[in-house]
């Protein structure tokens, strides 16, 4: 059985829609072909996976129409060179995440030279990222099937014999297993955790920032007075003034 190409080996992105979010009347109105129906024609062996076709790829034209109807879209991309990824959800609850696999590296793999273990982690963490970022709508399995199935849209897929033979060798047995639930929970926690507040400045630094801020306000006033009589000096005073004001704002802790 030929194994499906894991997302950790990808270097592209795609836009998806959950078929459960697309009203049947819209599909009929636009005369779109759903992926499950197209699969039966293009590669019959994969028609056994028709029940698992939860997502569909969409073209920019179809995506624009779906967005106009208020239908949620999911965009996901992965680059094997950097192990970087992004996920964007549009609609009534938009979100945007991006990062790298190492952001979720467990302590057991830190400072570890086991390349095989790291590769296995990169394979499995993609599924965890998809599940956590999309709140369970996406998974590696459903994205892989959607990527290889026909897109949602007009007409059926155009498949040459080489592509047909490749897909005929694929089957459910070659799909990757789901990520460990603990890894999914770990990724979900990291994605949804609020950013840590910036530690406050020490008393000495805070006092220096206040003095610089006060001096900055004075410098801005001087720049205003010199703007016509000595423009070059006004520019210098303006620069110093802006720097001082920035120091004043910098002493406030970020929340």
- pLDDT value of residue 35: 82
- pLDDT value of residue 178: 92
State whether the Cα torsion 43-46-50-52 is positive or negative.
negative
The closest of 24, 21, 34, 27 to 71, measured between CA atoms, is 21
- pLDDT value of residue 51: 73
State whether the Cα torsion 74-72-37-130 is positive or negative.
positive
- pLDDT value of residue 16: 97
| Assigned token pair, 226 | 């010199």
| Domains in the chain: boundaries | 7-192, 203-250
CB-neighbour burial class of residue 77 (10 A; exposed 0-12, middle 13-18, buried 19+)? middle
CB-neighbour burial class of residue 80 (10 A; exposed 0-12, middle 13-18, buried 19+)? middle
Walk along the chain (255 residues) and give the pLDDT tens digit of each residue: 456 788 998 999 999 999 999 999 999 999 998 887 776 666 666 666 777 788 999 999 999 999 999 999 999 999 998 999 999 999 889 999 999 998 998 888 887 778 888 888 988 999 999 999 999 999 999 998 888 878 898 865 555 555 556 665 666 677 888 999 999 999 999 998 776 666 665 666 566 556 555 665 665 566 666 667 667 776 666 676 566 566 656 555 444
* DSSP 3-state percent helix, strand, coil across the chain (nearest 5): 55, 15, 30
Q: pTM for this one?
A: 0.71
- pLDDT value of residue 22: 96
- pLDDT value of residue 255: 41
Q: How far apart are the first and last CA of the chain?
A: 52
């Amino acid at each position: 059985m030929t194994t499906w190409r894991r997302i950790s080996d990808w270097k592209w992105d795609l836009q998806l829609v959950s078929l459960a979010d697309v009203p049947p009347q819209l599909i009929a109105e636009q005369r779109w072909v759903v992926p499950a129906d197209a699969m039966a024609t293009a590669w019959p062996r994969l028609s056994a996976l028709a029940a698992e076709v939860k997502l569909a790829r969409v073209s920019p034209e179809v995506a624009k129409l779906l967005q106009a109807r208020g239908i949620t879209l999911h965009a996901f991309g992965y680059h094997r060179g950097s192990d970087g990824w992004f996920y964007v959800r549009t609609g009534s609850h938009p979100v945007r995440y991006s990062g790298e696999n190492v952001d979720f590296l467990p302590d057991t793999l830190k400072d570890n030279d086991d390349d095989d273990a790291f590769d296995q982690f990169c394979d499995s963490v993609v599924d965890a990222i998809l599940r956590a970022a999309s709140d369970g709508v996406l998974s590696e399995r459903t994205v892989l099937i959607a990527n290889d199935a026909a897109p949602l849209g007009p007409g059926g897929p155009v498949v040459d014999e080489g592509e047909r033979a490749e897909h005929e060798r694929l089957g459910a047995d070659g799909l990757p297993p789901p990520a460990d639930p603990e890894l999914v929970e770990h990724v979900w926690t990291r994605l949804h955790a609020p950013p840590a507040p910036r530690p406050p400045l020490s008393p000495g630094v805070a006092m220096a920032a206040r003095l610089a801020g006060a001096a900055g306000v004075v410098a801005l006033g001087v720049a205003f007075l010199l703007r016509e009589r000595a423009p070059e000096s006004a520019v210098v005073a303006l620069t110093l003034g802006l720097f001082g004001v920035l120091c004043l704002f910098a002493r406030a802790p970020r929340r």
